[in-house]
């Protein structure tokens, strides 16, 4: 069997704030329940985004939230350049930190926005990131 990335887990400090952010981004995130402090959304690519506020601290007693900077980005393929522009504008207008305004990089046309926990969200129109890419 070939190794596959099946899930990205985000440990969050405020589950409700993260749910609002990812819904505003355009994902159909379900409501969390009191019994399970997590939500999951399976992407058309097959990768699941799991957002939780308790898994790491419950099972890894040495876990600490990161301090300063970021070590990863989550790239979301949004389609055309105009959608990168409008999604970035909507998120910034809603009060989220716009880390990099839409621009043509050395690779794709892209923008960066911070989610409520400082995870960097890369919005891109790069066809290579499309779930339909070969």
- In CATH, which of 3.30.720.120, 3.30.70.20, 3.40.50.300, 1.10.287.1770 is domain 1-61? 3.30.720.120
Q: Which candidate, 44, 70, 63, 62, places its Cα nearest to that of 129? A: 44
How far is residue 83's CA from residue 85's CA, in Å, rounded to a whole number? 5
pLDDT score of 93:
98
Q: Give which of 115, 109, 130, 88 is closest to 17, Cα–Cα.
A: 115
pLDDT at position 2, please? Answer: 77
Do 112 and 122 meet the contact criterion of CB atoms below 8 Å apart? yes
* Residue extent(s) of CATH 3.10.180.10 domains in the chain: 78-134
Fold (CATH) for 78-134: 2,3-Dihydroxybiphenyl 1,2-Dioxygenase; domain 1 (3.10.180)
The CATH 3.30.720.120 domain(s) of the chain lie at: 1-61
pLDDT of residue 54: 80
pTM score: 0.81
Gap between the Cα atoms of 110 and 126, Å rounded: 8
Those residues of the chain that have pLDDT short of 70 are: 1, 3, 71, 128-130, 133-134
Q: What is the distance, to the nearest Å, from the Cα of residue 83 to the centroid of all Cα atoms in its chain?
A: 16
């Amino acid at each position: 069997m070939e190794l596959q990335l099946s899930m990205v887990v985000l440990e969050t400090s405020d589950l409700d704030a993260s749910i609002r952010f990812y819904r505003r981004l355009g994902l159909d995130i379900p409501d969390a329940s009191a019994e399970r402090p997590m939500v999951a959304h399976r992407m058309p690519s097959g990768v699941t985004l799991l957002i939780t506020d308790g898994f790491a601290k419950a099972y890894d007693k040495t876990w600490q939230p990161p301090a300063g900077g970021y070590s990863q980005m989550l790239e979301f393929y949004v389609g055309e350049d105009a959608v990168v522009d409008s999604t970035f504008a909507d998120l910034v207008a809603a009060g989220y930190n716009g880390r990099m305004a839409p621009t043509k990089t050395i690779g794709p046309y892209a923008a960066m926005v911070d989610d409520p926990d400082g995870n960097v969200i890369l919005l891109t129109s790069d066809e290579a990131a499309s779930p339909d890419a070969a």
